[in-house]
Amino acid sequence: MKQHSSNFIYGTIASGRSFLWAICALALLLLAGCGGNPSTGEEDGLITVDVTKSYPEKEFVLQDLFDIEYVPLETTEEFLTTRWVLDISSHYILTMNLREGELFLFDRATGKGVKKICRRGEGPEEYLHAANAVIDEERDEIFVDDGMRRRFLVYDLEGNFKRSFKTIDHSVIMNVRNFNQKYLLCQDDYKIGNMNSKLTFFLISKENGQRKGIEIPYSNRISNWVWKIVSEDFVYSNNTDNCQIIPYGTKWYLMEPSADTVYALQKDLSLKPFLVREPSVQGMDPVVFLFPCMLTKDYCFMQSVEKFWDFDANEGFPRKDLVYDKREGKIYECVLQNADYEGQELNLLVKAFTQEVAFQFGLDPADLIEAHAAGQLSGRLQEIASTLDEEDNPVILIAKYKK
């Protein structure tokens, strides 16, 4: 079946009848009991969130939580890109033009264009579609996920081909992260065309593509995709688009849509329960997912998303931004404001790439110019907006963890 996505932009253990699930639930209760108050965060026990409850509202200012960088991407005839950021490393921002298949490396400090890479084609050293890409500065390599042909191609930072390796035939990789020197951390999606998938997360060797699965317990497989079958040969589809891999500190937090527990993946590849949602996702109709979005020392920001999309109206996935205050042991509905942009409330549908960067998103030049004219901007953002043209490349907001 051909598929069409409506969204090109881009993110309590189930009480089952089986003995295995009863043991899992008991184990989690014991873990929470050993850790102290189960509502005081990862170090002291499990965070528990009821996705059906209403919570009082609490406002936050972005700059109180994170250090903010604004990077205006250089605009030239050669460097014309979109807000689609694929990766951010220590020195580079990697973006893509979906239609042309061009990859762009920008200097993170200055926003200057460094390298344009276009290896789109059908040859053995080319990709049909760059679904994902990751920078590894230590190896001087870019890993490009050629999703249509189920393989990765590896280039140096100049765009020269180095090697390629296959993934498994039924994988539909949605997110890739630079896990460590040896492995990429990948998120597979359960959707039409991938109905045999059992694991959502796995590691792939950077050298040869050898795969290590990360098993998170659940009973029945649940997808965060919805689809509308138009004919035997055509399907409309869309997904919640929330990031399911959240890096923080030395850990990677993994959200499996079919499970009620979010786990922290440790350096030794062991899993530690971090957050438990209730009621169980296995018994909900309609399903409401709970995605962690970003973490700080004192807070866990989350987003609940109802699994519903109206293809005729082209709208849906009702969302609610939540935050867990580790110090108070309380949950609030979250309103996040940008002190540099009056009136801008930030949606927690954001993506993170490294343990340094909490999240990033692109700011449209036309919107910034309009906000500047209205006197809504201040500081560095005001300075940047005063020099912009509507046809310029986006300005990338990077929220870094405070040191």
Mean local confidence (pLDDT), 332-346: 94
β-strand partners of 288: 306
Confidence check: pLDDT of 262 > 60 = yes
Q: What average pLDDT does the structure give for the chain?
A: 87
Confidence of residue 138 (pLDDT cuts 50, 70, 90): very high
Residue whose C-alpha is closest to residue 70's, from 371, 312, 395: 395
Please state whether 104 falls in left (phi above 0), alpha (psi between -120 and 50) or beta.
beta
Q: 294 to each of 69, 142, 185, 205, 337, how far by Cα in Å?
A: 17, 25, 18, 27, 15
Contacts of 77 (CB under 8 A, 6+ apart): none
Does pLDDT of 23 surpass 80? Answer: no
Question: Vertex 15, ends 241 and 349: CA angle to 5°?
Answer: 15
pLDDT > 90 fraction of the chain, expressed in percent and rounded: 70
Average pLDDT over residues 331-355: 92
pLDDT beyond 60 at 41 = no
Dump pLDDT digits (tens) for 303-326: 999 999 999 999 999 999 999 999
Separation between Cα atoms, residue 112 and residue 291, nearest integer Å: 34
Look at the alpha carbons of 144, 149, 151, 156 in this order and tell me if their dihedral is positive or negative.
Answer: negative
pLDDT value at position 230? Answer: 84
CB atoms under 10 Å from CB of 283, counted, come to: 11
Determine the pLDDT at residue 316.
96
pTM of the model: 0.85
